[in-house]
Amino acid sequence: MSLFLFLTVVQAIVAFALVVVVLMQRSEGGGLGIGGGGSPGGLMSARGAADFLTRTTKWLAVLFVGLSIALAAVAINATSGREIDDSLQRTIAPAAAPIEGLEPAGDAAPAGEGAAPAPANADPLSGVAE
């Protein structure tokens, strides 16, 4: 499990770096690109920075996909069951015994049948005899 955790942390770092590098690149609309200062032929010129960021993006993407495949392989090996149960025999637990004095829901009498009639001198709202 520690290999899976290690690879997950590395994957998160690579994903963060990939997002940062992509955001640093100059888009057609300007984006968050690096400015064009410095010598025209150097590494940090506009063209040199663009080439460096493009190559960095490519290798970070390759690393990200490779780590994703490795994580999937490690996860399958870590969680695969050792034994597959292919039998159809299932045991069902018996129902709990009914409580004395209570009728099962299917055998209950409808309301009105079997109910004791109210006494003749009972209050119609409360059903209590006066």
In tens digits, the chain (130 residues) has pLDDT values of 588 899 999 999 999 999 999 998 877 555 454 554 444 454 556 667 778 888 999 999 999 999 999 999 998 877 766 666 677 777 777 777 777 776 666 555 555 555 566 566 666 666 565 5
Q: Does residue 70 fall inside a structural domain?
A: yes
Residue 114 located in a structural domain: no
Residue 38 lies in a domain: no
Can you say whether the dihedral through the CA atoms of 118, 119, 122, 126 is positive or negative? negative
Residue 126 lies in a domain: no
Residue 55 falls within a domain, yes or no? Answer: yes
Measured in whole angstroms, the distance separating CA 35 from the mean position of its chain's CA atoms is 40
Number of domains in the chain: 1
Does the pTM exceed 0.75? no
Tell whether 51 is covered by a domain.
Answer: yes
Task: Give the domain range for residue 57.
Answer: 2-25+44-79
3-state class of 83 per DSSP? coil
- The answer to whether 127 and 118 have CB atoms below 8 angstroms apart is yes
Q: Indicate whether 68 belongs to any domain.
A: yes
Q: With beta carbons less than 8 A apart as the criterion, state whether 68 and 11 touch.
A: yes
Q: Is there a domain that residue 34 lies in?
A: no
